[in-house]
Amino acid sequence: MEKHRTVVVSALQFACTDDVSTNVATAERLVRAAHKQGANIILIQELFEGYYFCQAQREDYIQRAKPHKDHPTILRMQKLAKELGVVIPVSFFEEANNAHYNSIAIIDADGTDLGIYRKSHIPDGPGYEEKFYFNPGDTGFKVFQTKFAKIGVAICWDQWFPEAARAMVLQGAEILFYPTAIGTEPHDANIDSRDHWKRVMQGHAGANLVPLVASNRIGKEIIETEHGKSEIKFYGNSFIAGPTGEIVSIADDKEETVLIAQFDLDKIKSTRHSWGVFRDRRPDLYKVLLTLDGTNPVR
């Protein structure tokens, strides 16, 4: 008999204030809305507790970090996940002794904290000055066995790297999740990465034959920096892609949104295995990927 293991995934999209309690309440309201539509795994956007503070290099913003253990927002989402029976990846600014990370805790449907992933690729450019705040993640790319699926979760800038997606799927990830904060470029209004952003992740889904869920924020955020005011207008466009890279659900650039899509994981697994891209891989030929310059292996 043919198996059918279905899962319903959701991506949330909303504008953040710079008040933690307001944003966490918004996230909870939208998680409940997604659950009412049948969602099993619900993705909230990156660093949703406040404004995307990385527009500036400010010492006071480092104080927003909190340890993973007994983190109040994670504890609240554990309670919510258990109440609703849903999986919730929770993005947060982590303090670990003298280190700081852009991290995500994966909460299973019984409220269990399955552990964290720390963002591996840390951007550094006008408006996205994350290297001031975050150490490079040290967890490596991980997958998490949840009640509904084995999932891979990475964060924002990670989504531009095909190696990260492939690493997660090689470890058994059946769905990829990417919480995000991306919008305009403060130094050049002519740069619009929106469609590029989507196409790269659609490629990850298609190349690995897995669904992919991306959650981005909306709204305009103005931050006082050391050089005056900086402004980013976040372009939303949160989306869910199917296993051939097709977009099955997408939000616009303005509206608070709850996206929903259902996938038959057993059918997708059968297609992935029969398509042959994992059968025909040649890891013995990929050693160049262990270099920065195409010649010298990184040690």
As a whole number of angstroms, the distance between CA 286 and CA 139 comes to 22
Kindly report the number of other CB atoms within 10 A of residue 36's CB atom. 10
As a whole number of angstroms, the distance between CA 143 and CA 154 comes to 10
Q: Tell me, rounded to whole angstroms, the distance of Cα 121 from its chain centroid.
A: 12
User: Is 119 a residue of the active site?
Assistant: yes
Kindly report the number of other CB atoms within 10 A of residue 11's CB atom. 32
Residue 291 β-bridge partners: 297
User: Is 66 a residue of the active site?
Assistant: no
Are the CB atoms for 17 and 221 separated by under 8 Å?
A: no
User: Considering 46, 49, 94, 221, which one is annotated as catalytic?
Assistant: 46
Coil, strand or helix: which one is 72? helix
Listed residue (6, 10, 80) closest to 45, CA to CA: 10
Q: What residues contact residue 215 under an 8 Å CB cut-off, 6+ apart?
A: 11, 12, 13, 43, 44, 45, 46, 177, 178, 179, 180, 238
User: Considering 95, 130, 142, 156, which one is annotated as catalytic?
Assistant: 156
User: Is 156 a residue of the active site?
Assistant: yes
User: Considering 16, 49, 119, 130, which one is annotated as catalytic?
Assistant: 119
Are the CB atoms for 39 and 297 separated by under 8 Å?
A: no
Which residue numbers are catalytic?
46, 119, 156
